Amino acid sequence: MPSSISSFERPIPTLPWRGLGLAVVLLTLTATVAWEIRCRAWGYAPTLNDTSDLWAQHRRAVKPDSIVIIGDSRALFDTDLDALEQGLGRRPVQLALVGSCAYPVLEDLANDEQFRGTIICGLVPGMFLAPAGPPVENSKNALKRYHHGTVAQRASQQLGLRLEEHVAFLKQEDLTLAQLLQQVPVPNRADFHAPPRLPPYFYTLDRDRRARMTVQCEHPGELQDRIKHDWIPLFTPPPPPSFVPKEAFLKGMGEAIEARFKAITASVEKLRARGGKVVFVRFPFSGELKKLEDAGTPRVGPWARIIKETGAPGIYFEDYPELASFDCPEWSHLSGPDSVEFTKRLVPHLKKALAP
């Protein structure tokens, strides 16, 4: 007896399918164009997303004798690759990452037996010594994509580059549904404290991973003020967790930071043993953020200790009038034009620090 399932037929209604298909296409195009117009009205412009795939692409470009820039967003914003290429004779590979701890990248390069080049390492002590948390995870995620990325992911990255260069709403850090939902204000309560807000879109990125502050942020206004006040909670250490005794927590943090100091020295020595060089750079910062960082991680603390224990040269911007004269519009990064001029003035100090 034939199964009733095998004899089932789905009736297809007689409808104007071509017209419906055309209506769907037109509605989608209209909504897409409207969203693009709205995003541009908010101040967004087409620019690349700084994805782990883009970072991994540049990590793969590192040659044994490359000059490599690592660090957080200050090393990304404040260095101009053209000026460095002109001054140092080779174009550096930009591997600095926004909101990251540079140590995992330093360790990765130190463990790469083929690499014997030069590392320009931007150093923000509070982030460089972070034993865990988002800064460390940002670097580890990028390294994971470099070591384990698939062919499909590389192909997707190339397609994404072409779209992002022309479409403003493809800004993953701000305009995805998940990010927009995070902007809904949620009040703190007994067992919940809202995390600090991340700064909104205020820079562009090109295929060389050169970051440039937007014109809107370079000048005083609502955007600049918002970013300034976002830095303070982001750079303020969170309170110890309530479920761990304070003494035990502080002891654990101290041990983790001590281990990091030793690991930094070991990585620098490993690079130096095969002819590599490292120079640490403290890039400009200003305003209320400078007061906060200077109080929490004074120069005589982590910076001085890292320079002493590694034996690597260090360039602290405040030591040189020509580097200390720059002001950061939003307290943490240089404007586009200033980043070019700062890099030109930095080059002689890099040459001196890296001289045999």
Reported as a single tens digit per residue, the pLDDT across 93-143 is 999 999 999 999 999 999 999 999 999 999 999 999 988 888 999 999 999
Contacts of 320 (CB under 8 A, 6+ apart): 345, 349
3-state helix, strand, coil in the chain (%, to 5): 50, 10, 40
Query: Are the C-beta atoms of residues 121 and 101 closer than 8 Å to each other?
Result: no
Distance CA 334, CA 326 (A): 8
**Residue closest to 122 by CA, chosen among 79, 73, 71:** 71
Q: 199 φ, ψ to 5°?
A: -60, 145
Question: What integer pLDDT is reported at residue 184 of this predicted model?
Answer: 67
> Do strands 118-122 and 277-282 pair parallel, antiparallel, or not at all (unpaired)?
parallel
Q: What are the chain's domains? A: 52-176+201-354 (3.40.50)
Report the percentage of the chain scoring pLDDT > 70. 91
Provide the whole-model pTM: 0.86
Q: How many other β-carbons are positioned within 10 Å of the β-carbon of residue 254? A: 11
Question: What integer pLDDT is reported at residue 54 of this predicted model?
Answer: 94
Tokens in use for 172?
């993953």
Distance CA 100, CA 70 (A): 10
Contacts of 87 (CB under 8 A, 6+ apart): 343, 344, 347, 348, 350, 351
Contacts of 225 (CB under 8 A, 6+ apart): none
| 231-265 pLDDT tens trace | 888 888 777 777 778 788 778 888 889 999 999 99
**Residue closest to 313 by CA, chosen among 129, 64, 121, 72:** 121
Helix (H, G, I), strand (E, B) or coil at 263: helix
| 268-295 pLDDT tens trace | 999 999 999 999 999 999 999 999 999 9
Q: 248 φ, ψ to 5°?
A: -65, -40
Question: What integer pLDDT is reported at residue 1 of this predicted model?
Answer: 47
